[in-house]
Amino acid sequence: MATQLMQQLRESVNFIQSRYKEVPQVAIVLGSGLGNFTQEIKVEHEIAYNEIPHFPVSTVEGHSGKLLFGELGGKKVLVMAGRFHFYEGYTAQQVTFPVRVMKLLGVQTLLLSNAAGSVNKTFKVGDLMLINDHISFFTVNPLLGKNEDELGTRFPDMTEPYSKDLLAKARAIGQRLNIDLKEGVYTAVTGPTFETKAEYRLILAVGGDAVGMSTVQENIVAIHAGMQVFAVSVITDLGIREDENVITHEEVLAAAKEAEPKLTALFRELVAAI
């Protein structure tokens, strides 16, 4: 007998398939301030989150809250314009519910973007950082509880959370388009508070290059389900600064907007290369 989660996933999937018949190959999750990317897509259909059975609803400024279906770079794509965060009060399972829906819709490759604070002193605001690994100790693992055998194994291997193949393609695109791409380890925290100076020093000490409040839970569930994942952070603030360390959400959104053309070009070319 199907578990409650599997039943809810199927109801969501059936509803979406009743509205859009094509099978998306690539899914893209847009982070804070990155909503304009949707203009690149030849949109064929859109569905508001609040229409989809069992779907959470985004509450954060800078996140619009709908699924877009269409074409980009000759591929059928599904775009999440607005994601869910643990700090909004959702469970880790709710945060990652849409990723599981994507899998059941037939998505094989997941592209994630986020706004992140830098702890690597060589990064500057507006840089794009390809995520080549992550640290998830500071946030809740979405696979806690009964394992859904239909979706994946109890103990997923996490030695390659971000596809080496897609990272290599992204590096080549960066060189071709003359986009300076940084690379590093993303550290996930729960938020919603920005980090203290001592926390930034700790994250640097454990090997983090950037820190944010999303992405890792989505990645874990995607890897569990056998998807290929690529992720990039827009560096929107510098965590380790000599001066007074005051960061606002407005500052983050403004920096993300400035970096958006570079991210858009990268994602457009990457989708075409998959």
* pTM score of the predicted model: 0.93
The fraction of the chain above a pLDDT of 90, given in percent, is 75
Whether 208 shows a pLDDT value over 60: the answer reads yes
Query: What confidence category does residue 99 fall into, taking pLDDT thresholds of 50, 70 and 90?
Result: very high
Whether 248 shows a pLDDT value over 80: the answer reads no
- In this predicted model, what pLDDT tens digit does every residue of 210-239 receive, in sequence order? 999 999 999 999 999 999 999 999 998 887
Least confident of 1-10, 69-78, 89-98, 248-257: 248-257
Question: Three-state DSSP class for 15?
Answer: helix
Whether 246 shows a pLDDT value over 70: the answer reads no
Residues in the chain: 274
Token duo for residue 50? 């609040």
Q: How far is CA 22 from CA 26, 93, 94, 224, in A?
A: 12, 26, 25, 24
Longest dimension (CA), the chain: 59
Within 8 A by CB and 6+ apart from 159, the residues are none
Within 8 A by CB and 6+ apart from 239, the residues are 117, 118, 119, 194, 195, 200, 203, 211, 245, 247
Cβ atoms of 212 and 176 within 8 Å: the answer is no
Whether 139 shows a pLDDT value over 90: the answer reads yes
> What domains can be seen in the chain, in order of their start residue?
23-273 (3.40.50.1580)
pLDDT at 80: 92
pLDDT at 58: 62
- With b meaning 16 or more CB within 10 Å and e meaning fewer, what string describes 143-170? beeeebeebbeeeeeeeebbbeebbebb
- In this predicted model, what pLDDT tens digit does every residue of 15-47 receive, in sequence order? 999 999 999 999 999 886 667 788 889 999 999
Q: Which of 203, 2, 245, 217 is nearest to 94 (CA)?
A: 217
